[in-house]
Structure 1
C-alpha cells in the first residue's frame, strides 16, 4: 500500500482527535474571527475554500446576495472535520461538514450551531461506491476482506458503508472485516484502477469524470440507501451568532438564495458562472472539472434544516458508542431562525 494511504486505525484515531477539542479550546477563538462586543458587527467573514470548486457562499457573494457582507478566503480546507474545527476555534467564521461530524464536535460541548444545509445527495449529486467493471464484487457480502477508499473516516461515507452492510445482513464481526481506508478523492479513481483498493467512493465531478473514462460500475449509491437528503451543514459558534445576528441572517439567507439559483438556473449558465468565479479569484486553479458539475444536492428548499437530517447520524454514532445515546437532541443542534428564504 502506498505510504500516502493511512491505515484505518491511524486515520480513525486522527479523526477522533481532530474532533476531540474541548469547550475551553473553542472559547479561546481569535478576537478577529469572533468580533468585538455589543455595538460592533463583523462584516467580513473568514472562510476556507476548495480547490477548483465554487462553494455556496462563494456563489452567493458573486450573485450579490451578501450586500455589505464580504468573504475573506484564508486557504483551502482538507476535510469537513477540519473545516468545522477551524470555525469552532475561531480561525474562520463558518465551516461545513457532514452532519455526523457536526454531532461529534457538539458532543464535546463545543458551542456551535448549524445554520443552513451545505450539501447533499440527489439524482445529480450522489456518492457512489464503485468497483471495476470486471470485479467479482456484486453484493455486500462480497465486501468481506476488501478495502474501501474514502475521503475521511468516521464521517459520511463510512456511516453509509456501515448502513449498507447492516441492511444487507452482515453481522458486526463480518462488517469489521471490511476495511475503510483514507484515500484523497483526487487519487481514488487511480487507486481503484491500479487495484490498490477494491472499492472507491466517488462523488461530484470526480465521479462523473471517472465514469466518462469507463471501466467502472457502482456497487451502490447513498441515494439508493436513503433517497435524496441533505448531508452536511454550515456551522458557526453560538457566540458569533449572538454578537452578529444581522451578519448571520445576511449570510444564511444569501446562501439559501444561491441554493435556489443553482436549482432553477440552466446548468450551463451555472457552470459558466462558476468558471468565471474561479478565474477571477486568481488561485491558479484548473477549471476543467467544473464541466461535470450537476448540483449541490441540498434537499430542502433554501437549505432549511429539519430534525431528520441529524437524527439518522445521532442513532448511528450512538450505536457505535461514539456518543452517549440520548445525550444530544437533533433540535438543539441547528437553527432556521436566520434563514429568511421560504420561512413559514
Structure 2
C-alpha cells in the first residue's frame, strides 16, 4: 500500500509546478487538443471506437490516446496536466480522493457483466487444487497485479461471501502475464486475472472458483474516466463535450461487440482467436454509484481506506 499512496501523494505535489492543463491548447476556431491516458486492455475499447467513429471530432475534440502501465502513472499525469483525462480503476480513484488529490470523475469506464461465472475477470486455482471455493483461501496466497487495490478488495469480498476469513488471505504482486505460470508451478495458490489472461488460464486448465467483481457488488463499476478539478473548473465545456462523446462511445461499444473485438486488434497484441473467445466487460453510459459506495465500504473494512471517501466530490 505504501507504494500506491506515495505515488498518489507525490501527484498532489506536482500541481505547484505543473503547466496549466486546463487551458485551451489550440488556436481559436480549432478543435481542442485532448490527450487521454489509457491502458492497453479491453476495458478501454470504447474510447478507441469513439475516436474512429468520429464521436469526439464531431464535438470539436482532437483526441490523442496515450498508453500507460496503469493508474499509478495516469493519475499523476492528469493531476500535472500532461493528460487532460485518464482511465483508472475505482479503488485507485477512491484512494486518490481520500488523499485529497484534485480528481473529478467525468463518466463511466467499464463495468462487470454481473453474471457469476461469466465475467471478464475471475479468481482461479489449479485443476488439481484442494481449494474448492473462496473460503478455502484463508492462509493461502493469491497473485494480484497490484497490491492493496481493486483485486484484493474484491477477492476478499468473495471470501467473506463464502463465509471465510478474508483477513487471512495473503496477496503477492505479480504482473498478469506471470500469474498463470506461477499458478501452474505452485508458487501461488490462486490468481485473479482479467481478459485475455482469463482465457489463457482456462486454456491451461485452471479452475474458476469465483467472479470477484460480481461478488463485490451488483453491476460493479470497475473503472472510470476522470480529469483534474482544475480542468473541470476552468473548462467545463470541454469536460461536458468529452463526457458526451464518451457516453456515446460506451453505448456504441456495448451494442457492437464484434467491432470491439476488431478494435482490440488495433491497440493490443491479442491474437484473433483469443479475441473471439474473450468475455467482454459491460459499458453502461452511467456510473453505478451504489457499486462505487460498496467498494468504498469494503476498502474501509479492509483498512485500505481509513475514512469513507466523499463520493459527492469525486463523482459527477
TM range (shorter): 0.7 to 0.9
Taking a change above 3 Å as real, the CA distance of residues 102 and 190 of structure 1, as seen in their structure-2 partners, is: same
Correspondence for 2:310: 329
How far does residue 324 in structure 1 lie from its aligned partner after superposition? 4.0
Q: Does residue 22 of structure 2 align to residue 34 of structure 1?
A: yes
Contact in 2 for aligned 1:114/1:334 (Cα 8 Å): yes
Q: Does residue 117 of structure 2 align to residue 134 of structure 1?
A: no
Taking a change above 3 Å as real, the CA distance of residues 270 and 141 of structure 1, as seen in their structure-2 partners, is: closer
Which of 235, 241, 245 pairs up with 1:250?
241
Which of 210, 231, 246 pairs up with 2:222?
231
- 1:105-254 equivalences under 5 Å are 105-122=96-113, 123=115, 125-171=119-165, 175-211=166-202, 213-225=203-215, 226-254=217-245
How far does residue 147 in structure 1 lie from its aligned partner after superposition? 1.3
How far does residue 65 in structure 1 lie from its aligned partner after superposition? 0.1
Correspondence for 2:280: 295
Unaligned regions of 5+ residues in structure 2, if any? none
Taking a change above 3 Å as real, the CA distance of residues 198 and 306 of structure 1, as seen in their structure-2 partners, is: closer
Distance 2:85 2:70 in 1: 14
Q: TM-score, normalised by structure 2?
A: 0.85
Contact in 1 for aligned 2:38/2:86 (Cα 8 Å): no
- 1:24-63 equivalences under 5 Å are 24-31=13-20, 33-35=21-23, 43-51=32-40, 55-63=45-53
Output one character per residue of 1:49-99: Cα deviation in whole Å (capped at 9) or x when no partner: 43475543222111110023122244x322223322321232211122221
Correspondence for 1:99: 90
Taking a change above 3 Å as real, the CA distance of residues 22 and 185 of structure 1, as seen in their structure-2 partners, is: closer
Contact in 2 for aligned 1:149/1:183 (Cα 8 Å): yes
Distance 1:272 1:49 in 2: 18
- 1:70-81 equivalences under 5 Å are 70-74=62-66, 76-81=67-72
Distance 2:94 2:79 in 1: 13
Which of 263, 286, 292 pairs up with 2:269?
286
Contact in 2 for aligned 1:59/1:258 (Cα 8 Å): yes
Of 146-155 and 85-94, the range deviating more from structure 2: 85-94
Contact in 1 for aligned 2:22/2:235 (Cα 8 Å): no
Taking a change above 3 Å as real, the CA distance of residues 227 and 126 of structure 1, as seen in their structure-2 partners, is: farther
Contact in 2 for aligned 1:98/1:156 (Cα 8 Å): yes
Distance 2:65 2:300 in 1: 35
Unaligned regions of 5+ residues in structure 1, if any? 1-11, 279-284, 336-344
